[in-house]
């Protein structure tokens, strides 16, 4: 017998809320489909539907409003182990805020099951209309037109989902969830839920929900699409085999800082990729102002033999600054043990651990940061120049980069 998907039977919703019934049935369906809690990755959304995280024994990720399908898509494409299931849960508000996301996931038939808990309103913020609110809601309250709601089941069906259906009657709807979980690709189940806290006031006739007599339900047919297989992201990319050496033993945090247009981001990406070719774990993070053509540009690269669980870099081990802009940007993060690799024009600064080179003079404005970082990394044995060259040759500005890197073979900082 599989372990329970729910960690408690106490639902976090208001008494009588339809979300609780839906989640309990979803948990039963996952168990019946043979999933253990840690086989399941639940991506939840903002709103009452997003209160599920703490009651699940599964992996959980809490997304931004309307973005659960986009996050779930990323998780699904990135999964490399078989037998896992990605389930996204959102309300009708989230589903229509982020409609494009779920249509894209359906269009690509990505292996996700999306549960839309549709109580016809925004519950958490007081009962405002959503894109799935029915004519009854509108006629009873805020606006007088009779614009129909989106038919989300039909939309994803037409976009290319493997399965989509709607549950309108209260009761045991585990069977329909099971069908969705077993569908080969993107599946969506829209569940009509009652929101006792706001639906009573906002809906003209609450019995249409309680009796499962929603207009959107009986006028429209659930969709079924043919099987279209999807490949995990990593299946398309052949993993790089380490083919170069690195002498690093501990995690090394590098901050490369300079001016806009100084090739900072390209240099950091090149170093990160060369790190991967050298069998290292790597992260890279860029930072620059909205005005990309002026001001500073900075990038952090972490190189490590071990897995990098924390990608923050408060105090870099090495700061590379080829211009004044870069040094100003990096200054607050320089501490007593930071090694500085600076252009010789910045020599008036009295830093105890600084090494200097004529990087701007030799490599020009665009190549100075790469020249400075590459020379230090090669000289210290962190990366082989051949690893950097291999990446540079594949880059769109590779010719200029190769020229800079060739000079690193002989000159020392």
d(CA 37, CA 15): 26
- Name the minimum Å distance from CB 200 to ligand SF4: 10
345-364 residues in contact with ligand SF4 (CB under 6 A) are none
**Cβ of residue 123: shortest distance to ligand SF4, in angstroms?**
3
CB 89 within 8 A of CB 45: yes
Residue 28 is a binding residue for ligand SF4 (CB under 6 A): no
Closest CA to 216 of 159, 106, 136: 136
Minimum distance of ligand SF4 from residue 13's CB (angstroms): 4
Closer of 25 and 119 to ligand SF4 (Cβ): 119
Q: Which stretch binds ligand SF4 (CB under 6 A): 189-197, 318-326, 371-379, 390-398?
A: 189-197
Cβ-based nearer residue to ligand SF4, 124 or 413 = 124
Closest CB to ligand SF4 among residues 121, 327: 121
Q: For ligand SF4, give the closer residue by CB, 17 or 408.
A: 17
How far, CA to CA in Å, does 204 sit from each of 139, 193, 207?
7, 16, 9
Complex with ligand SF4: residue 48 or 341, whichever CB lies closer = 48
For 281, which DSSP code?
E
3-state secondary structure of 323: coil
User: Residues 23, 48, 55, 181: which binds ligand SF4 (CB under 6 A)?
Assistant: 48
The nearer residue to ligand SF4, 14 or 339, going by C-beta atoms, is 14
CB closer to ligand SF4 out of 194 and 254: 194
Order of strands, sheet of 252-259, starting from the edge strand that comes earlier in the sequence: 281-287, 296-304, 252-259, 318-321, 339-343, 354-357
Q: Given candidates 5, 6, 19, 25, which one binds ligand SF4 under the rule CB under 6 A?
A: 19
The DSSP H or E segment spanning 252 is strand 252-259
Collapse the DSSP code of 292 into the 3-class scheme (helix H, G, I; strand E, B; otherwise coil) and give the result.
Answer: coil
Measured distance CA(58)–CA(198) in Å, rounded: 30
48 versus 188: smaller Cβ distance to ligand SF4:
48
Phi, psi of 158 (to 5 degrees): -70, -25
Contact indicator for 348, 283 with CB cutoff of 8 Å: no
Question: Which residue number, 184 or 196, has a Cβ lying nearer to ligand SF4?
Answer: 196
Closest CA to 118 of 172, 64, 195, 176: 195
Count of CB atoms situated within 10 Å of the CB of 279: 15
Tell me whether residue 123 or residue 262 sits nearer to ligand SF4 (CB atom).
Answer: 123
Q: What minimum distance in Å lies between the beta carbon of 172 and ligand SF4?
A: 20
Task: Map residues 190-219 to x or -, x wherever contact with ligand SF4 holds by CB under 6 A.
Answer: -----xxxx---------------------
- Residues numbered 259 to 288 that lie near ligand SF4 (CB under 6 A) are none
155: left (phi over 0), alpha (psi -120 to 50) or beta: alpha
Region 110-149 residues binding ligand SF4, contact defined as CB under 6 A: 119, 123-124
Stretch in the footprint of ligand SF4 (CB under 6 A) among 14-22, 205-213, 250-258, 351-359:
14-22
Size of the site for ligand SF4 (CB under 6 A): 12
Would you give the distance in Å from CA 400 to the centre of its chain? 33
Stretches 13-21, 139-147, 333-341, 399-407: which one binds ligand SF4 (CB under 6 A)? 13-21
Between 201 and 218, whose beta carbon lies closer to ligand SF4? Answer: 201
Minimum CB–partner distance for residue 130 and ligand SF4 (Å): 12
Q: Give the strands of the sheet with 40-44, arranged side by side.
A: 59-62, 40-44, 85-91, 113-118, 187-192, 163-167, 223-224
Residue 75 to residue 67: CA distance in whole angstroms? 13
Cα-based distances in Å from 316 to 101, 288, 303, 304, 330: 37, 18, 11, 13, 9
Q: Least CB distance from residue 14 to ligand SF4, whole Å?
A: 3
- The residue within the footprint of ligand SF4, chosen from 7, 14, 339, 355 (CB under 6 A), is 14
| Single residue of 5, 13, 96, 301 touching ligand SF4 by CB under 6 A | 13
Q: Residue holding tokens 């990160």? A: 272
- To ligand SF4, the closest distance from the beta carbon of 106 in angstroms equals 25
Residues that bind ligand SF4 (CB under 6 A): 13-14, 17, 19, 48, 119, 123-124, 195-198
């Amino acid at each position: 017998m599989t372990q329970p998907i729910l960690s408690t039977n106490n639902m976090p919703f208001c008494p009588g809320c339809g979300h609780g019934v839906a989640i309990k049935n979803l948990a039963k369906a996952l168990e019946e489909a043979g999933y253990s809690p840690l086989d399941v990755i639940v991506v939840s959304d903002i709103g009452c539907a997003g209160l599920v995280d703490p009651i699940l024994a599964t992996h959980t990720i809490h997304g931004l409003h309307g973005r659960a399908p986009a996050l779930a898509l990323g998780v699904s494409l990135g999964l490399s182990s078989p037998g896992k299931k990605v389930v996204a849960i959102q309300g009708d508000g989230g589903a229509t805020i982020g409609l494009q996301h779920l249509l894209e996931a359906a269009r690509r038939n990505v292996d996700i099951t999306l549960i839309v808990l549709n109580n016809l309103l925004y519950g958490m913020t007081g009962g405002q209309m959503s894109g799935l609110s029915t004519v009854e809601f509108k006629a009873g309250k805020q606006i007088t037109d009779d614009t129909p709601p989106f038919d989300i089941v039909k939309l994803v069906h037409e976009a290319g989902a493997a399965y989509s259906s709607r549950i309108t009657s209260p009761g045991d709807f585990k069977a329909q969830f099971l069908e969705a979980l077993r569908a080969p690709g993107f599946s969506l189940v829209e569940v009509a839920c009652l929101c006792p806290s706001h639906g009573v006031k906002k809906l003209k006739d609450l019995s249409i929900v309680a009796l499962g007599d929603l207009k959107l339900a009986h006028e429209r047919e659930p969709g079924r699409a043919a099987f279209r297989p999807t490949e995990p992201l990593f299946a398309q990319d052949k993993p790089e085999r380490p083919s170069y050496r690195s002498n690093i033993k501990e995690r090394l945090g590098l901050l490369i800082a300079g001016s806009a247009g100084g090739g900072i981001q390209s240099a950091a990406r090149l170093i990160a990729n060369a790190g991967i070719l050298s069998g290292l774990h790597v992260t890279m993070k860029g930072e620059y102002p909205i005005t990309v053509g002026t001001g500073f540009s900075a990038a952090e690269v972490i190189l490590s033999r071990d897995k990098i669980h924390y990608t923050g870099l408060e105090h870099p081990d090495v700061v590379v600054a080829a211009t004044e802009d870069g040094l100003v940007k990096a200054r607050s993060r320089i501490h007593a043990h930071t090694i500085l690799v600076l252009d010789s024009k910045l020599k008036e600064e009295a830093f105890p651990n600084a090494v200097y080179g004529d990087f701007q003079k030799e490599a020009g404005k665009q190549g100075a940061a790469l020249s400075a970082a590459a020379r230090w990394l090669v000289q210290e044995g962190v990366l082989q120049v051949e690893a950097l060259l291999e990446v540079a040759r594949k880059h769109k500005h590779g010719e200029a980069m190769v020229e800079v890197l060739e000079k690193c073979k002989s000159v020392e900082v």
